[in-house]
């Protein structure tokens, strides 16, 4: 073996077997621990720490000890799975699928692909240019750009973990509908002239070939996603749940009913108005929002607040300003905000 080959040997000879057995073992341990978290939190709170049943402090402590490991474990499992799914959908491939699509069908596809295509808001600008200069209609590009941050795995896991599957499904479906409709409306408005002129003049090349991926690499990508995403959000989860636990234990029942309850019609627009410029990842905001819901806030209002925080933010507007003129940014934010408000009103009226 020459020195070059020797240097390359370790990454090339990783056997798939090790990955499979490691994965099976991890899954069994995960399952065994996850099922016992509630009992463990109960034991820690009342037996080990000896807190009084029914006290404010005990309520807050038990909530915290139970929710933190639960959410982090769910997050790890789902982020890993999504990381593997995403290894099948590169931005490159998504662009090929969307390029030259008619609107409507394109909007639906764009919103759906926004969920599974790896996306980081730091790449929003090159992605936007890459899409619109290679035949993806502007409205379809927007459907993608709305759904990608809004419907993300972190938000879904937290919603599922803290609210249950119904709210998670509600969020997923209404998020998709907003992305589809807002993109469609933006396409109909023919706003191409409000895209910075140099964008359409940019010559976009075609990256040579997709990376060749085998399963060992896909599993590695899943693990990379866990390290990256869980490593980034765990602190927010911790802080969010701590604040949520405080609200849970100390804020009186129905305290929120007057401010964020169904009776106050203005609560939905206000929630969106406050939420849009805010920038917080889903991990920090959802546990707090869950605690508010328990104190009498209405689900529609809470959902609207959450969506506006996650989907739109001031930093995003600043990033997009590179490629979009102010009027288009304002229209984009306005239409999405209206859609979110509509969802808020709808669920306050229905539920």
Partner 1 sequence: MKKLQILGTGCAKCQALTHNAETAAKALGLPYELEKVTELSAIMKFGVMSTPALAVDGVVKSQGRLLTADQIKVLLF
> Which of 133, 185, 257, 321: binder of partner 1 (CB under 8 A)?
133
> Which of 39, 88, 105, 126: binder of partner 1 (CB under 8 A)?
126
* φ, ψ (nearest 5 deg) of residue 195: -90, 140
Q: Rule CB under 8 A: is residue 129 a binding residue for partner 1?
A: yes
Query: Which of positions 282-341 make contact with partner 1 (CB under 8 A)?
Result: 322
**Binding span for partner 1 by CB under 8 A among 49-57, 65-73, 114-122, 162-170:** 114-122
In whole angstroms, how close is the CB of 3 to partner 1 at the nearest point? Answer: 8
> Which of 47, 208, 214, 253: binder of partner 1 (CB under 8 A)?
208
Look up tokens 């290679």; give the residue. Answer: 134
Buried residues in 237-268 as b, exposed as e (16+ CB within 10 A): bbebbbebbbbbbebeeeebeeebbbebeebb
Q: Rule CB under 8 A: is residue 7 a binding residue for partner 1?
A: yes
> Which of 15, 35, 54, 205: binder of partner 1 (CB under 8 A)?
205
Q: Rule CB under 8 A: is residue 207 a binding residue for partner 1?
A: yes
Whichever of 152 and 308 has its CB closer to partner 1, that residue is: 152
Q: Rule CB under 8 A: is residue 29 a binding residue for partner 1?
A: no
- 196 burial class (0-12, 13-18, 19+ CB within 10 angstroms)? middle
Question: How many residues bind to partner 1 according to rule CB under 8 A?
Answer: 36
Report the greatest alpha carbon distance in the chain: 76
Q: Rule CB under 8 A: is residue 11 a binding residue for partner 1?
A: yes
Integer Cα distance of 268 and 278 in angstroms: 16
Q: Rule CB under 8 A: is residue 50 a binding residue for partner 1?
A: no
DSSP-assigned letters across all residues of 29-81 = HHHHHHHTHHHHHHIIIIIIS-PPTT-HHHHHHHHHHHHHHHHHHHHHHHHHH
Q: Rule CB under 8 A: is residue 254 a binding residue for partner 1?
A: no
How many CA within 13 A on the CB side of residue 261? Answer: 10
In whole angstroms, how close is the CB of 238 to partner 1 at the nearest point? Answer: 22
Whichever of 123 and 254 has its CB closer to partner 1, that residue is: 123
Q: In the structure, how many helices (H) and strands (E) does the chain have?
A: 19, 0
Q: How far is CA 176 from CA 154, 169, 195, in A?
A: 16, 11, 24
Pick from 137, 145, 70, 150: which is nearest to 103 by CA? 137
Handedness of CA 287, 292, 296, 298 (dihedral sign): negative
> Which of 25, 39, 200, 204: binder of partner 1 (CB under 8 A)?
204
Q: Are 306 and 289 in contact (CB under 8 A)?
A: yes
In whole angstroms, how close is the CB of 202 to partner 1 at the nearest point? Answer: 5
* CB neighbour list of residue 91: distance below 8 Å, 6 or more residues apart: 117, 118, 119, 123, 127, 130
Q: Rule CB under 8 A: is residue 120 a binding residue for partner 1?
A: yes
Q: Rule CB under 8 A: is residue 125 a binding residue for partner 1?
A: yes
> Which of 2, 47, 50, 203: binder of partner 1 (CB under 8 A)?
203
Q: Rule CB under 8 A: is residue 211 a binding residue for partner 1?
A: yes
Residues of this chain that bind partner 1 (CB under 8 A) = 3-4, 7-8, 10-12, 90-92, 95, 118-120, 122-123, 125-127, 129-131, 133, 198, 202-208, 211, 221, 224, 228, 322
């Amino acid at each position: 073996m020459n020195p070059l080959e020797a240097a390359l040997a370790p990454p090339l000879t990783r056997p798939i077997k090790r990955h499979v057995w490691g994965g099976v073992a991890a899954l069994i341990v995960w399952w065994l621990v996850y099922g016992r978290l509630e009992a463990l939190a109960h034991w820690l709170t009342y037996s080990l720490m000896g807190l009084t049943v029914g006290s404010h402090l005990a309520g807050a402590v038990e909530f915290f000890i139970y929710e933190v490991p639960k959410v982090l474990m769910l997050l790890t499992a789902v982020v890993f799975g999504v990381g593997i799914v995403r290894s099948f959908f590169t931005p490159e491939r998504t662009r090929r699928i969307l390029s030259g699509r008619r609107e409507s069908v394109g909007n639906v596809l764009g919103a759906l692909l926004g969920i599974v295509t790896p996306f980081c808001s730091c790449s929003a600008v090159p992605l936007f240019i890459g899409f619109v200069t290679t035949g993806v209609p502007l409205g379809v590009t927007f459907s993608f750009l709305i759904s990608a941050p809004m419907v993300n795995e972190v938000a879904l896991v937290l919603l599922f973990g803290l609210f249950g599957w119904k709210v998670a499904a509600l969020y997923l479906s209404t998020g998709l509908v907003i992305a589809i409709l807002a993109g469609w409306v933006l396409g109909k408005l023919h706003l191409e002239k409000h895209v910075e002129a140099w964008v359409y003049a940019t010559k976009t090349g075609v990256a040579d070939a997709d990376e060749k991926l085998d399963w060992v690499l896909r599993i590695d990508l899943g693990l990379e996603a866990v390290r990256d995403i869980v490593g980034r959000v765990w602190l927010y989860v911790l802080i969010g749940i701590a604040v949520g636990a405080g609200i849970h234990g100390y804020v009186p029942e129905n305290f929120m009913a007057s401010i964020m309850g169904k009776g106050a019609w203005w609560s939905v627009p206000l929630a969106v108005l406050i939420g849009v410029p805010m920038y917080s990842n889903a991990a920090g905001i959802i546990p707090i929002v869950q605690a508010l819901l328990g104190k009498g806030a209405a689900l529609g209002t809470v959902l609207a607040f959450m969506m506006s925080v996650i989907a739109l933010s001031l930093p995003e507007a600043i990033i997009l300003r590179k490629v979009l003129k102010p009027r288009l940014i304002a229209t984009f934010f306005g239409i999405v905000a209206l859609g979110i408000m509509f969802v808020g009103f709808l669920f306050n009226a229905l539920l």
